[in-house]
Amino acid sequence: MRALRKTHAGPGLELVDLPEPTCGPHDVKIRVMRAGICGTDLHILAWDASGRSMCDTVPFTPGHEFYGEVVEVGDEVPDVRCGDRVSGEGHVVCGICRNCRAGRRQMCIHVRSVGVQRDGAFAEYLVIPRSNVWVHEHDGRTDVISPELGALFDPLGNAVHTTLTFPVVGEDVLITGAGPIGLMCAAVARFAGARHVAVTDVAAHRLQMARAAGVDVAVDVSATSIRQTQRELDMREGFDVGLEISGQASALQEMITNMNHGGKIALLGLPSREFEIDWTTVITHMLTLQGVYGREMFETWFAMSAMTTTSPVLRDRVLATVTDVLPLRRWEEGYEIARSGSGGKVLLDLERLD
């Protein structure tokens, strides 16, 4: 099979030929149809400090956002069938640490991530444990979830987990960062009943995408302050819920300044450096800061499956974050679009290798 491979401990990736992976008794083998490029994959390509710290073995195949068709199941797998269309939870957990045994599998201390510490989805075939497989609904005639939407379930899960960390019904929500996950957060917040949804960024095309995602206001923070945005929305107090997606120091610092007393902030964006925040405001305004990583296993998957299958508006807004679907051989072009931020979500089409 063809695979995009991390062949050595240094910058770069290579398209190579590999044997197809074998399917163990508790595993499922998947023919990958679409796979998404995310920030983790950019770190792995660059082999920067983050990439080196995440990956403990080389060589391996990156890629953890995917959709595909089941082509083989292990002898001990009773409930997944060949032909099923699936996505997958990328965190393979130990099952025996305290968090796993208490039902908090997303907090497993021995987690091994697909496409990071084990072979991933930038290949024609992928093998993962049955416990990590999510079978998509169908109506008996056709698949409800398209390959493109199915490949978004991993990042959409991040957005759903982040957005629903705190109640948003009737609340004023501030989202910093209008990349694909920020746009998905905006769509989910609107779906979940937020009163006002504001998104910040500095890129004009992403702010336009945010408007299409149903936000009340898309703020170019290089020209307009968040405080001015509050006045435009006739908000007499600060934002109730903040979703920090950008990983930028200035974004979190400005968010803290513009939260209502007792406001709650969910943090998903990974910063590239350490930075100071105004802890006096955090304490005196009684703010809550909550880190978010991945998805709740598997409550988030049930939530996003229900939302995407019952709400055409949400489904369309999530799909609108995809701007490029490229065959595998054009992976370098896809990575550059993702790195530069010149588009939205980039998917690799594994059905079109050339």
Phi/psi zone of residue 337: left (φ > 0), alpha (ψ -120 to 50 degrees), beta? alpha
Instruction: Assess whether 309 carries a catalytic annotation.
Output: no
Instruction: Assess whether 196 carries a catalytic annotation.
Output: no
Residues 6+ apart with CB under 8 A from 338: 37, 38, 41, 42, 346
Structure tokens at 132: 């990590």
CB burial of residue 113 (10 Å; 0-12, 13-18, 19+): middle
Catalytic residue among 7, 8, 26, 43: 43
Three-state DSSP class for 75?
A: coil
Residues 157, 159, 161, 164: is their CA dihedral positive or negative? negative
CB burial of residue 16 (10 Å; 0-12, 13-18, 19+): middle
46 alpha-carbon distance from chain centroid: 20
Residue 341: count of CB within 10 angstroms of its CB: 14
Catalytic residue among 7, 22, 40, 323: 40
Structure tokens at 289: 């800061």
Phi/psi zone of residue 247: left (φ > 0), alpha (ψ -120 to 50 degrees), beta? left
Structure tokens at 349: 């089409």
Residues 6+ apart with CB under 8 A from 183: 199, 206, 209, 210, 213, 317, 320, 321, 344
Residue 22: count of CB within 10 angstroms of its CB: 10
Residue indicated by tokens 């609340």: 171
Instruction: Give the chain's end-to-end CA distance (angstroms, integer).
Output: 13
Residues 6+ apart with CB under 8 A from 136: 67, 84, 85, 86, 87, 143, 144, 145, 150, 305
Give the catalytic positions in this structure. 40, 43
